[in-house]
A and B are shown apart, each in its own frame.
Chain A
Amino acid sequence: MELICPAGTPSALKSAIDAGADAIYCGFNDETNARNFPGLNFSRAELRQGIELAHRRGAKILVAINTFPRAGAIEVWHRAVDDAVDAGADALILADIGLMDYTARRHPDQRIHVSVQAAAANPDAIAFYVETFGAKRVVLPRVLSVPEIAAISREIECETEVFVFGGLCVMAEGRCSLSSYATAKSPNMNGVCSPASHVAYEQTREGTSSRLGGFTINRFGANEPAGYPTLCKGRFATELGTGYIFEDPVSLDATALLGGLRDAGVTALKIEGRQRGRAYVESVVRHFRGALEALDAGREADIARLTPFTEGQTTTVGAYRKTWR
């Protein structure tokens, strides 16, 4: 199985290669990708240099252009596709069918991967992308169990990529409007879930309050582990009590399921976290490289090593092992 690793900066890209990534995914420093955060991402020149470096080291670069173009601004996304192809990207990760159509017509030899943002979660939907645009791989949404992934893999004509570590979306991906509701900025169109410009932390006697767009979404005690300031991981008081309504602050860690994912026919394993620092990239990539080597050698990998990197200092195998449906 390939190991697909995140990079938000050229330095992180190099760290990912050094740590054993087979491929690195990254995006331009604008709204064309779903991690449009301040100080993050690649200029055109940086992407070109990153691709040259990766190819010299035997790694691939996948460029995420995985937001949905705004009406009246489609040329921004078209230019991103053209520039990524021109820079020598090994694949484009796309979510919007209009952008896939543009890419397939304008750059018929360019490899297309269906982004998790497209939420293609069944064989019919995936077949549409494969037959219509020639997509070679689908990144499966994080709502499927391992047996469901195996069932899908048997029925489709393209490769599958699944997340094995990092942040989780509990919503139908690419369709979540929680952040848009609170901030008027869309993760799906502007590339910013819980934009930092709308986040505020306040230190109080009780601990730390996190606010998003004026809404208090959580309050952490002094020593209580914290998570990202997203509404889906907010803690709310209702008449039934106070707690996490949608999801606890927790990160995916599927280290223990690598064998099952391999047997399910998965082609590639993806690590979330283009917004994270070099230390995260290096440690997490190195961990999964070791875990894959252990899998090949018939050994067990250490499944608790990455907890310090996780939201709420807590891990889950998420929907892969559904115990809550």
Chain B
Amino acid sequence: MSYPSSPTGESLPSIPPLLARVMRPLPLLPLEIVLARFMQRICRRNPQIFDRLGVHAGKRFGIKPTDLPFAFVIEASTQRPRLSVMRELPAALDARISSSLANLLALVEGRVDGDALMFSRQLVMEGDVEAVLALRNAIDDAGLDLAKEVADLFGPLGEPVRQALDAARNSLMKPNPLSQETRPWS
């Protein structure tokens, strides 16, 4: 099932600004340690991502969730993928991608179409567009299921975790209606 670019023409909800403000003073290091290990695990389990990245493996991608008070820098190196969490994206990046957190998570799982998000202006990219496309295609092909990836961390106890995360995702990613009219051109 797909959401923002689904035939319903609806878009995903954003993090409420009040909640984002509450998150602003939180320390970033614990989040960085957890997410970096999680990403490295995903990369180990899905080595085909690097085949599709090709010459773009190792480039530095800045990911900015527009509704969160922090951003991520990912270096998709074959040897040691790195993820950093920071308040603002640095200048020295190969490419920058920004959208709402829900859109970015849905993109990682291939639940939305990146081009459709770009057409509707819900996703902005800057810098090395070729690298961004390679990353998008590599991740889309990987067929990642983040709930399953997290649940697998819990071994035999993972199934209830997966069910809980699936339910949370389905609830969080329930689209918000947007007025979307068809505009026939001819």
Q: How large is the interface on B (under 10, 10 to 19, 20 to 34, 35 or more residues)?
A: 35 or more
Instruction: Tell me which of B8, B52, B119 contacts A39 (CB under 8 A).
Output: B52
Q: Is B26 part of the binding interface, using a Cβ–Cβ cutoff of 8 Å? A: no
Q: Is A171 part of the binding interface, using a Cβ–Cβ cutoff of 8 Å? A: no
Contact with A along B77-115 (1 / 0, CB 8 A): 000000000000000000000000000000000111111
Residue on B nearest A224 in the bound complex, by CB: B121
Q: When chains A and B are docked, how far (Å) is the Cα of A279 from the Cα of B6?
A: 8
Q: Are A316 and B130 in contact, CB atoms less than 8 angstroms apart? A: no
Indicate the member of B2, B6, B126, B138 with the most A CB atoms within 10 Å.
B2
**A197: B residues at CB distance < 8 A:** 129-130
Q: When chains A and B are docked, how far (Å) is the Cα of A279 from the Cα of B186?
A: 27
**A324: B residues at CB distance < 8 A:** 186
Q: When chains A and B are docked, how far (Å) is the Cα of A313 from the Cα of B4?
A: 13
Q: Are B5 and A279 in contact, CB atoms less than 8 angstroms apart? A: yes
Indicate the member of B118, B180, B185 with the most A CB atoms within 10 Å.
B185
Q: When chains A and B are docked, how far (Å) is the Cα of A314 from the Cα of B180?
A: 10
- Closest CB in chain B relative to A10 CB, distance in Å: 6
Q: Are A309 and B143 in contact, CB atoms less than 8 angstroms apart? A: no
Q: Are A9 and B129 in contact, CB atoms less than 8 angstroms apart? A: no
Q: Is B131 part of the binding interface, using a Cβ–Cβ cutoff of 8 Å? A: yes
Q: Are A11 and B142 in contact, CB atoms less than 8 angstroms apart? A: yes
Q: Are A313 and B54 in contact, CB atoms less than 8 angstroms apart? A: no
Q: When chains A and B are docked, how far (Å) is the Cα of A249 from the Cα of B183?
A: 12
Q: Is A318 part of the binding interface, using a Cβ–Cβ cutoff of 8 Å? A: yes
With A9-B137, A276-B115, A323-B186 in contact, do A222 and B121 touch (Cβ < 8 Å)? yes
- Closest CB in chain B relative to A169 CB, distance in Å: 15
Q: When chains A and B are docked, how far (Å) is the Cα of A225 from the Cα of B8?
A: 17
Q: When chains A and B are docked, how far (Å) is the Cα of A195 from the Cα of B5?
A: 24
Within 8 A of A (CB), among B123-173: 124-126, 129-138, 140-143
Q: Is A307 part of the binding interface, using a Cβ–Cβ cutoff of 8 Å? A: yes
With A38-B133, A278-B140, A280-B113 in contact, do A311 and B125 touch (Cβ < 8 Å)? no
Q: Are B7 and A39 in contact, CB atoms less than 8 angstroms apart? A: no
Q: Are A313 and B53 in contact, CB atoms less than 8 angstroms apart? A: no
**B111: A residues at CB distance < 8 A:** 279
Q: How large is the interface on A (under 10, 10 to 19, 20 to 34, 35 or more residues)?
A: 35 or more
Q: Are B180 and A305 in contact, CB atoms less than 8 angstroms apart? A: no
Q: Is A315 part of the binding interface, using a Cβ–Cβ cutoff of 8 Å? A: yes
**A225: B residues at CB distance < 8 A:** 119-121
**B133: A residues at CB distance < 8 A:** 37-40, 196
Q: Are B186 and A313 in contact, CB atoms less than 8 angstroms apart? A: no
Q: Is A223 part of the binding interface, using a Cβ–Cβ cutoff of 8 Å? A: yes
**B113: A residues at CB distance < 8 A:** 276-277, 279-280, 283, 309
Q: Are B186 and A208 in contact, CB atoms less than 8 angstroms apart? A: no
With A38-B54, A226-B119 in contact, do A308 and B7 touch (Cβ < 8 Å)? yes
Q: Are B186 and A318 in contact, CB atoms less than 8 angstroms apart? A: yes
- With A277-B110, A308-B116, A321-B186 known, 13 other A-B pairs at CB within 8 A are A38-B133, A43-B51, A223-B121, A226-B118, A249-B119, A278-B140, A278-B143, A279-B5, A280-B5, A283-B2, A306-B7, A312-B119, A317-B186
List A residues at the B interface (Cβ < 8 Å): 8-12, 37-40, 43, 195-197, 199-203, 208, 220, 222-228, 248-250, 275-280, 282-283, 287, 302-318, 321, 323-324
- For the complex of A and B, the 4 pairs showing the least CB-CB separation, nearest first, are A39-B137, A279-B2, A305-B7, A39-B134
Supply 24 A–B pairs (Cβ within 8 Å), ascending by A. Answer: A11-B141, A38-B130, A38-B133, A39-B133, A39-B135, A39-B136, A196-B133, A200-B129, A201-B129, A202-B126, A208-B121, A225-B119, A277-B110, A278-B143, A279-B110, A279-B111, A280-B113, A283-B5, A307-B9, A309-B113, A309-B119, A310-B119, A314-B183, A314-B185
